[in-house]
Amino acid sequence: MSRTYSINEHEANGGTKCSFPDGHMENKTCSVPPCVPIDCDGWWEEWTNCSFASKSQTQNFHIETEPAFGGKECPLPKTQKCTPGTGEQQTAPSSGLPGWAIALIVVGAVVGAAILAGALIAAWTAGASGAVPEGAYQQY
């Protein structure tokens, strides 16, 4: 290691003279140990669910220790092809509707079918007269 003295302002009006002349260089030997390489360390996480869009899944490496001083780099995420819906880790695409909306649609379809069935029975039992027997048809 070395250092060089540079005088920015010379002594004046009774000031102290600099210890070394301008441009004086000093050398010193340092005993700093070389840095030991540190390898990446961690573990592989579970595979992600199979994506319906890309038909692939990913496995990420969880990094516990970052590499330093030329140590071994961390592995990149792994990607593999998969078939959605064929394994436990697969996910189905969402309709985008909340669960209560889907339930309302199903209930509405069932009630609608019951009303239609009631109307058909009432029309059939009315016969040619067009009169609906009491209790044969109930409005919901």
Residue 39 lies in a domain: no
pLDDT (0 to 100) of residue 42: 97
Residues 72, 106 contacting (CB under 8 angstroms): no
Q: pLDDT tens digits, residue range 1-38?
A: 678 888 888 888 888 888 888 888 888 776 667 789 99
Kindly give, in sequence order, each residue whose CB lies less than 8 Å from that of residue 9, ignoring residues fewer than 6 positions away: none
Residue 66 lies in a domain: no
Copy the structure tokens of residue 84: 């959605």
pLDDT (0 to 100) of residue 100: 44
| Structure-model confidence comparison of residues 115 and 63, the more confident one | 63
Partners of 44 in beta bridges: 61
Number of domains composing the chain: 1
pLDDT (0 to 100) of residue 29: 75
How confident is the model over 127-135, as a mean pLDDT? Answer: 53
Residue 106 lies in a domain: yes
| Residue 136 structural domain | 94-140
pLDDT greater than 90 at residue 88: no
Q: pLDDT tens digits, residue range 52-78?
A: 999 999 999 999 999 999 999 999 999
Residue 57 lies in a domain: no
Residue 100 lies in a domain: yes
Copy the structure tokens of residue 129: 């007269």
Residue 34 lies in a domain: no
Residue 103 lies in a domain: yes
